[in-house]
Structure formats: structure tokens, C-alpha cells
Amino acid sequence: MTRTAGFDRLLYWFGLIVIAWAVLTFLLVPISAALHAALFRHGGLEIVDAVAELVSSRRVRAALWNTAWMTAATIVTVTIVGMFQVAVLEYFRVRGSGFLKVAFSTPLVFGGVVAAAGYNFTYGPGSAITAALTALFPSIPRDWFIGWFGVLFAHTFLMTSFHFLFLRAAMRRVDYSTIEAARSMGASELTILRRVVLPVIMPTLLAVTLLTLHTVVGSFAAPQVLGGRDFHMLSQMVLTLNSLRRPDMAALLALLMGMVLMGLILLSQYFEAKGAYTAGAKTTTRIQLRQIRNPLLRTMVHALAYLLAAIYLVPVALIVLFSFAPASSIGIEMLPSTLTLTNYARVLGGGTAFVPFFNSMLMGSAAVVVGLAITLFAVPIMVRKRNWLTQALSISFFLPWIIPSILLAVGLIVAFDAPNPLVGNAVLLGSYWLLPIGYVIFSLPLMVRFMRSAFIGIDPAFEEAARAMGASGPYRFRRVVLPLVAPTAILVAGMKFNTLMAEYPLSAFLYNVNNRPLPIAIVEGAVSADPDQAAISLVYVTLIMAFSLTVILIAERLSLGRTPETSNL
Amino acid sequence: MKLSLALASAAIALASAFPAFAGALTIYSPQGGERAVWIAEQAKAAGHDIKLLNAGGGELFDRLLAEKNNPQADVVLGMVDTSMALLKKEGLFQPYSPSWATDLPARYKDAEGMVHKFWQTPIVLAYYPDRLPDAEAPKSWLDLTKDEYQGKYVLGATAWQTPRMYLAGILVRFLDANGEVSDEGWEFLSKLYAHAIIANDADSYTEAFKSGRASLDLNWLGGSFKLAKDLGAKVKVIDTEGGTPILSEGVAIMAATDQLDEAKAFVNWWGSADVMAAYAAKFGQVPVLPEALAKSPPAVQENARLVKAQPIDWDAIAPKLDGWLQKIELEIR
């Protein structure tokens, strides 16, 4: 017994040292290297010039303004759509809610460059919908979707995943007995929603809004693909400045974004702490779906719900459908007239088309597993012991979130382009390993964010009971805590894996000749005029979506019927 | 947690089994897609064991600079004059005189004997006669800002090689005595952007032509022909007043290569008249080696005489280009 306890202790300290080394080597050193290289490479005062150049640039000012108003507008529209989804799935009785749930879950697996390209494929100048519209109303320009409208549209429907995940969970935590009590006292449906339901979900709603805000401020793919010439946002400017070999200006702009984002993260942690106390009764009555009495209103809610589902499913369906189409029909036919498995045979047949897929699967799963191992080890310590060390660790894990991935890539390059004593004097740049390491760093913030909520949400009574019955620390962790956080872990692993399969900036900077990943191949395929390439990209996208959707639905199934605390945010 | 650790170590063990591809000659080249496939196949058939890394010219350039202390490439193939000049300045290359260099005209060789050019690529102004009558076509790049061409031409992203080169080709016409671009030059460029269709990606570039809006193509010669083929339309290249910017792509061996013999053998093979002529026959790229040009199809030989060159000292422009592009990106477009 003492021997195993001693071994556990050894493992604990060993783990702690490894994490401290990893955080120093792969987080703090690269980030400070990036900032140093960017801001002080010509001595100190050059920063003033860089700021002056930024301020005087017309396009930087425009990007700042666009980002500000687009963020505000997106928050409004996303909140409306997200709350409507939650109401349809968890509050009102709506026919076919299983189907609606699948439709509304698509943003979890359909995001980034892939989704933006999918929207362009569906609504853009060359799309079937545009062809139909212009045939009906000749005055509509072919690029009607391109510009701020397309960006706002894409944001509105692609950024509801946090609502789907967390606001629904919060709605399930509403104690139905409070609703019944209010009704028995004669409260109207509206009053119940406003005075009983809303206060319970409010902390989650605020946290979700902040997470969404964070996503909009850093939005890149949507404005890049759908913004056209007149609408661009800050993250595009960062990329442009970097490609103009002005990393100092890029870093300054990125830092400005980073500070805003850091403020948002701190705010969301504040609301999270608050939410933990307002979670409601210990033994709640499960909420029962409400029938909408007014027939007109009921029809309208159904119509809106199915319209929304159509908006979500049409781009995905088109991509899946065209992945089975002969390469020659892509971009030519509105709907494929014949279907074939050739494209799939080319990807899965093990030829050159298979290599990027294999590389990404391998690096993506390795990064997710390592990231999860770090998170599962570090987060419980960070949650339980609150001191300056764990605080510093917690802030370090969030750094990659406020540092744009481009800057992170630059940092990794600068830190490891020469022999570095922290990694045994190896030169990591150009090697196989730098990209998977970058993937792990890039995955940490979201994993830590979600797992933190999961660990905080565990009712201390479980552990107390286990301890009272004499279970050791590691045993409690394995048999009590781990099963409680497992659904969140699987979910976040699935989401992150999906993001990594489509992660562009880090991949583009860090890949080498032996690990060319999928995002690079997809972008090449999208740029290439060769229709075979475009067909293969569609297959890649379909496979990734299918894989991630499976993982997420499994996690969703696992988390159903568990204590509501597991999906606390 | 132990399970995750076990999984992690399994994944790492699995991964470490794959990275090793030692032995192959690593070549960095912006020639991608079917061109890369062709190069790889032909090289393999000739007994060269190569691995190509393709990326955009600018991206490859940044990558080579970043990897300075741990170079991965053995050979750099097909990057344009300005990039090769700057990379040479960084000390990345070593001298080697390929077997085909003796017959190469002097202007395609450098003084240090490190970079040898093998193609010439005009950046052309072309028009579609079915959309724009011959008489109405522009005569010079400087005609583009005239009102009649408003919304009829597409400017690509400045991250691409081709727009960088024609923008430079335009701006050098406005250099003042101090070697700086005059206000008149920037005014011209502002108007050029204001009147243009802007494309940030290849799809929207093609779309501008598919939809019938654009009738003037500012493109590299091969790209212009390929676009016309995709559109199923006829394109005419304009031999402009003041000349057309012509680039040359070069090859060089990295100073840090650990496979010098293989690298030399590859460079000798690549630049040889037969390989160049075969590439020309396949993709229409114009070789600069006289013997290779003589062996090329008549259409390629004709392309070599299509336009007269604009006199541009690329090595002098290379250091200024970044500043110009910054002004364009931040102020003008």
C-alpha cells in the first residue's frame, strides 16, 4: 500500500516537472521570442514608428471598424439563433427534434475554412442558388452574397456551437418544480420564461456570449472567403502584415486583439465562478417540454425551426453529395447527375491522395491525446490548489488563445531555428516534430477551458463519499472523477481533432517535406484549377465531418442521463 | 490518466516510425500540381530519388530563410530572379557550374556561379478578342487606368508572384532621380486599384472571367493560356509599348546539402536540353538554353518571340519591393 502510494507520489512530481518544462519550452519561450523578435529587433523606439504606420493606414483603420461592428452585430444575431435553437430543442415540444438536433449540431464539425468555402459553394457567385435567384430577379448581382452580408450570415449560423453545447445543458438544469410553482401562482408563459427560466440560464448565457465574442473577434476564414474586396477584418490584416515581412506591425495588431481577448477570458472566468453557485437545486425535477397552445404561433415556430435546419444542412449536403460526383461535374452542374465512388477510392486507396490524410490523422490524434493527458493531469491540480503557481500555469495555458496562431508559429520558428538547450541542443525547425508540438499548444486553451468547467462542476460530495470509504487519491481519480468528466473529454477531443484537421496558419508555417498535412492539401485543392483536386478535397472534408460527428454524437450519448453537473459551464 | 499516457506513448511510438524518409534528395519548388507530378515522374525515370516540397514562391522564400540554421532542402528549383538573388545574399547557396551552363547566355548566369536560370516567363497583358475588339485593346500597361477599361481587368493578391512582378514593372516606370516612386506613380496605382476587380483567391479570379465581367488578363504567359483553355475562349497577348516584364526561374544547390553528388546529378539532368524541351512540349514553358529552345515545339519557339522585354534590373528592385507592397496593401487597395 505504501509502496504504491510512494510510486503515485513519484509519478505526480515527475508529471509536474514534465509539464513545467513543456510550458517553459514550448509556450513561454516561443511566445516571448516572437514578441521580442517582432517588437525589439531594431531596438526599442521603432515601435513608435510601427504604431504610427498602423494608425495612418487606411485599411488597418477600416479593419478595426469592421471588426468592431461585425462583432456587435454577430453577437446579436448569434444569440437570437442560438436561443431559438435551445428553445426548440429543450423547452418547447417541436416535432422531429431528433432531426433538428443533428442539423443544429453541424457547426461543431463544419467550421473554419471548410465551412466558409462551403457557404461560397452554396450561395456564392457560381452557385446554383445564385443562378436561380438571378434568373428570377435579373437585377440581383451575382455577387449578392459576397461582402459584409455573407460574413454576417456565415457568422450567424456557424457560431452557434457554444449555445448548442452549453446553453442546452443549462436549460436541462432548470428545475421544473419552480416552473410548476410559478404557473400555479398564475404566472403567464412569458413571465415564467423571463422571471424563472432566464435567471437560471443567465450565467451560462453570458459565458457562452463571451466565448462567441472571442470567436468573432478572431474570425478569419469567413471574411477571407466571403468578404470580397470591400469587407476585411483584423486577423486578415495580421496575416497580410506578416506576409509583407512586417512582423512588428503584425505583432502589435495581434497584441491589441490579444488584450481584448484576455479581458474577455477573465470576464468569462468570473461568470463561470458565479455560475457554479447559481446552478440550482441538488435534486431537480427534469424539465418537461412545453406544448405551444396558440396554433398560429406553433406553426410559425415549426416553420422557422425547419427553415433554420435547411440553412444548416444545405451546404453540408451539397458537399457530401458532390464528393460522390464525377470530378468533371463540380462547379458545372447544379446537382450531380451521376454518382461514383472514384473519388473515395483515390483518397482511401493509399496513393498520393492518401498521404496528407494519413499525416493529419496521425498528428491530429497524437496532439489530441497528448493535450488531453496534460489537461487531465494539470487541471485537477489547478482547480484544487489555488496558489500563484497554479494561477501562472492556468494563465500560461490560455496564452495560445490570445496569441494569434500565426504569431505562435513565428515564435516556434524563432525559438527552434538554432540549437536550443531546452530540447537537448536540437534544431527542431525543419524536423517532423515541430508541427505536432504546435498542434498540442494550439489545442490546450480550449481543452483546459472545457475540462476546467467539467472539474469545477463535479459535486464535492462524490469525492468526499469516496474518501470517507477509504479510496486513495489516484483510485478516486480513476473511478470517480474520470468517469464524470469523460463525456466532456471525449467531446472536446472530437471538436479539437476536427479543428486540427482544418487548421491552416500553423500548418502552413511548420509542416515539412515528410508531414504535409491535410489543410495544406485542401487549400491547394481549392486553389487548383484541376477538378480532380477539388473532388478529392470534398472527400477529405466529408470524411473529417463524418468522423467528428460520430465522436461528438457518442460524447452526447454518454453525457445524457449523467448528473447534470458534468456539462456545467 | 495512465491509460491516456499509455495511449500517448503508443501514438508517439507509432508516429516515430514514419518520419524517416532519409536518402531522397529534397527539392523546394513553387512548381506544383501536375507540373510537380511530371517533374517527380521524369526524375524518377532518370534514376533520381527526389522528394518535392511545393508551396507558393513567397512562402518557400520565408521557409528557406527560417530554416537557415537547419536547412532541409538540397536544391532550390524554379524560384524567380528577385528571390534567388536575396537567398544567395543570405549565403544559402554554393557554387556549381552545371554541364549545360557553357551554352547558357551570360545574362542567365550570375557572377558567383551559384544560380543558373533555365526558363523565361513573360508577365503579359492579354485580352479576349470576343469581348474586346482588337482596335479597343490597350497598347501599354499605362493605358489600363483609362475609363474604358474600368471593371474589365482583375488584380490578384499581392502575396502571389505574378501581381508582385507586374506591379513592380509598373512602378519602375515612375522612379525619380533618387530611385523612389514619384507621387504620380502612386496616383496611377491608386487609380489602377480603384478601377479593378480584386481577386484574393484563384477561384474568384477565374470567376471574374467566367461571369464575363473581365476581358483583360494580367498573368504570366502560361497562366494566361491555361485560363483561356479553361474558359474555352481565344486570348491574344499584347506586345506592349514600353515592354513586358520578363522573369527567369533559376536552380541552385544549397550550401548545406549532405547529398552534393546527387544534387549535382539532378541539376545536370534538369537543365539539359532534352528535359527542358520535353517540359516545354508538355507545359509550354519557354527554355532559355538555345539548344533546348531549338528542340522545343514551334509554338513554344513562337512564344519566345511574342513580346519584347521591359528593361528591369531585378536585383536592384528586390530590396525595395517589400516597402512598395506594404504601401499598396495598407494604403491603396
Q: How far apart are the CA of A25 and the nearest CA of chain B, in angstroms?
A: 19
Structural domain of B194: 122-245+311-332
B173: left (phi over 0), alpha (psi -120 to 50) or beta: alpha
Q: What homologous superfamily does CATH list for A1-41+343-569?
A: MetI-like (1.10.3720.10)
**Separation of alpha carbons A444 and A438, rounded Å:** 10
Smallest CA–CA distance from A362 into chain B, residue: B15
Q: Is A425 helix (H, G, I), strand (E, B) or coil?
A: coil
**Separation of alpha carbons A476 and A20, rounded Å:** 25
Q: How many angstroms separate the Cα of B130 from the Cα of each of A503, B197, B213?
A: 43, 19, 12
Looking at residue A120, its pLDDT comes to 84
Structural contact between residues A70 and A272, judged by C-beta atoms closer than 8 angstroms: no
CB neighbours of residue A363 within 10 Å: 27
Contact between chains at A417 and B70 (C-beta distance less than 8 A): yes
B216 pLDDT higher than 80: yes
pTM for the whole structure: 0.80
Which value, to the nearest 10 degrees, does the dihedral of the CA atoms of residues B66, B71, B77, B82 take?
A: 40
B 75-114 residues with CB < 8 A to A: none
A 107-126 residues with CB < 8 A to B: 120, 125-126
Please indicate, yes or no, whether residues B236 and B152 belong to a single structural domain of this protein: yes
Q: How far is CA A110 from the centre of its chain?
A: 10
**Separation of alpha carbons A447 and A445, rounded Å:** 5
| Bridge partners of residue A420, in order along the sequence | A426
Please indicate, yes or no, whether residues B194 and B326 belong to a single structural domain of this protein: yes
Structural contact between residues A62 and A232, judged by C-beta atoms closer than 8 angstroms: yes
Looking at residue A157, its pLDDT comes to 95
Contacts of A565 (CB under 8 A, 6+ apart): A279, A457, A458, A459, A484
Backbone phi, psi, residue B84, to 5°: -60, -40
* Residues B30-67: tens digit of each pLDDT: 887 788 889 999 999 999 999 998 887 777 888 898 88
Let me know if A35 is exposed, middle or buried by CB neighbors in 10 A (0-12, 13-18, 19+): buried
**Separation of alpha carbons A278 and B37, rounded Å:** 62
CB neighbours of residue B68 within 10 Å: 16
Looking at residue A410, its pLDDT comes to 78
Q: Which long-range contacts (CB under 8 A, 24 or more apart) does A559-565 make?
A: A559/A487, A559/A488, A559/A491, A562/A484, A562/A487, A563/A459, A563/A484, A564/A169, A564/A172, A564/A173, A564/A279, A564/A284, A565/A279, A565/A457, A565/A458, A565/A459, A565/A484
**Count of alpha carbons within 13 Å of B42, Cβ hemisphere only?**
18
| Selection from A416-420, B194-198, B202-206 with the highest mean pLDDT | B194-198
| A413 inside 8 A of chain B by CB | yes
Please indicate, yes or no, whether residues B41 and B107 belong to a single structural domain of this protein: yes
Contacts of A229 (CB under 8 A, 6+ apart): B197, B198, B200, B333
Smallest CA–CA distance from B213 into chain A, residue: A142
| Residues of chain B positioned with their CB less than 8 A from the CB of A504 | none
Q: Tell me, what DSSP letter sits at residue B310?
A: P
Smallest CA–CA distance from A58 into chain B, residue: B331
**Separation of alpha carbons A164 and A498, rounded Å:** 17
Q: Tell me, what DSSP letter sits at residue A43?
A: B
Contact between chains at B207 and A366 (C-beta distance less than 8 A): no
Contacts of B229 (CB under 8 A, 6+ apart): none
Contact between chains at A246 and B15 (C-beta distance less than 8 A): no
Segments of chain A assigned to CATH 1.10.3720.10: 1-41+343-569, 46-323
**Separation of alpha carbons B30 and B33, rounded Å:** 10
Contact between chains at B207 and A515 (C-beta distance less than 8 A): no
Please indicate, yes or no, whether residues B235 and B137 belong to a single structural domain of this protein: yes
**Separation of alpha carbons A439 and A507, rounded Å:** 8
CB neighbours of residue B310 within 10 Å: 18
Please indicate, yes or no, whether residues B112 and B16 belong to a single structural domain of this protein: yes
Please indicate, yes or no, whether residues B99 and B32 belong to a single structural domain of this protein: yes
Contact between chains at B8 and A370 (C-beta distance less than 8 A): yes
**Count of alpha carbons within 13 Å of B202, Cβ hemisphere only?**
18
| Bridge partners of residue B124, in order along the sequence | B219
Please indicate, yes or no, whether residues B87 and B213 belong to a single structural domain of this protein: no
| Residues of chain A positioned with their CB less than 8 A from the CB of B72 | 430, 512-513
Please indicate, yes or no, whether residues B192 and B75 belong to a single structural domain of this protein: no
Looking at residue A15, its pLDDT comes to 87
| B132 vs A258: which has the higher pLDDT | B132
Mean pLDDT, each 10-residue run in order, chain A (569 residues): 69 87 91 79 72 89 94 96 94 90 89 81 81 87 89 95 86 85 88 87 84 85 85 87 78 82 75 57 70 90 96 91 82 76 85 85 93 91 82 84 76 85 84 92 88 80 84 81 83 84 81 85 65 78 84 72 42
* Residues B263-275: tens digit of each pLDDT: 999 999 999 999 9
The topology (CATH level 3) of A46-323 is MetI-like fold (1.10.3720)
| Residues of chain B positioned with their CB less than 8 A from the CB of A417 | 66-70
Contact between chains at A58 and B331 (C-beta distance less than 8 A): yes
In a domain, B3, yes or no: no
Q: Is A394 helix (H, G, I), strand (E, B) or coil?
A: helix
Number of A–B residue contacts, CB under 8 Å: 127
| B11 inside 8 A of chain A by CB | yes
Taking the CA atoms of chain B, what radius of gyration do you get in angstroms? 22
**Residue that has been written with the C-alpha cell 449578392 in this structure:** A144
A 343-382 residues with CB < 8 A to B: 362-363, 365-366, 369-370, 372-373, 376-377
Contact between chains at B206 and A125 (C-beta distance less than 8 A): no
**Separation of alpha carbons A395 and A378, rounded Å:** 13
**Separation of alpha carbons B191 and B328, rounded Å:** 12
| Residues of chain B positioned with their CB less than 8 A from the CB of A362 | 11, 14-15, 18
What ipTM was reported for this prediction? 0.71
**Separation of alpha carbons A406 and A277, rounded Å:** 38
In a domain, B5, yes or no: no
CB neighbours of residue A398 within 10 Å: 19
Please indicate, yes or no, whether residues B142 and B112 belong to a single structural domain of this protein: no
**Separation of alpha carbons A37 and B51, rounded Å:** 32
CA-wise closest residue to A493 among A568, A560, A547, A561: A547
B133: left (phi over 0), alpha (psi -120 to 50) or beta: beta
Let me know if B155 is exposed, middle or buried by CB neighbors in 10 A (0-12, 13-18, 19+): buried
Q: Is B217 helix (H, G, I), strand (E, B) or coil?
A: strand
Looking at residue A332, its pLDDT comes to 64
Contact between chains at B72 and A362 (C-beta distance less than 8 A): no
Please indicate, yes or no, whether residues B260 and B328 belong to a single structural domain of this protein: no
Looking at residue A561, its pLDDT comes to 45
For an interface test with A, the pick among B3, B26, B59, B70 (most A C-beta atoms closer than 10 Å) comes out as B70
Please indicate, yes or no, whether residues B260 and B220 belong to a single structural domain of this protein: no
| Residues of chain A positioned with their CB less than 8 A from the CB of B8 | 366, 369-370, 373
**At what angle are helices B33-45 and B273-283 packed, to 10 degrees?**
150
Which value, to the nearest 10 degrees, does the dihedral of the CA atoms of residues A443, B56, B161, B205 take?
A: -80
Contact between chains at B330 and A60 (C-beta distance less than 8 A): yes
Residue in A228, A508, A513 closest to B51 by CB? A513
Backbone phi, psi, residue B309, to 5°: -75, 145
Domain count, chain B: 2
Contact between chains at A436 and B15 (C-beta distance less than 8 A): yes
Looking at residue A160, its pLDDT comes to 93
DSSP string computed for A480-512? IIHHHHHHHHHHHHHHHHHHHHT--HHHHHH--
For an interface test with B, the pick among A151, A245, A506 (most B C-beta atoms closer than 10 Å) comes out as A245
| Residues of chain B positioned with their CB less than 8 A from the CB of A516 | 53
Between vectors from CA A154 to CA A153 and to CA A156, what angle results, nearest 5°? 65
Contacts of B59 (CB under 8 A, 6+ apart): A508
Q: How many angstroms separate the Cα of A334 from the Cα of each of A132, A321, B98?
A: 10, 11, 52
Structural contact between residues A540 and A521, judged by C-beta atoms closer than 8 angstroms: yes
Please indicate, yes or no, whether residues B158 and B53 belong to a single structural domain of this protein: no
> What amino acid is encoded at B81 in this protein?
D
In a domain, B236, yes or no: yes
In chain B, at which residue ranges do the beta strands (DSSP E only) sit? Answer: 25-29, 50-54, 75-80, 93-94, 116-127, 154-155, 197-198, 216-220, 236-238, 246-254, 286-287
B278 pLDDT higher than 90: yes
**Residue that has been written with the C-alpha cell 438571378 in this structure:** A134
CB neighbours of residue A96 within 10 Å: 12
Contacts of B226 (CB under 8 A, 6+ apart): A529
Q: How far apart are the CA of B268 and the nearest CA of chain A, in angstroms?
A: 23
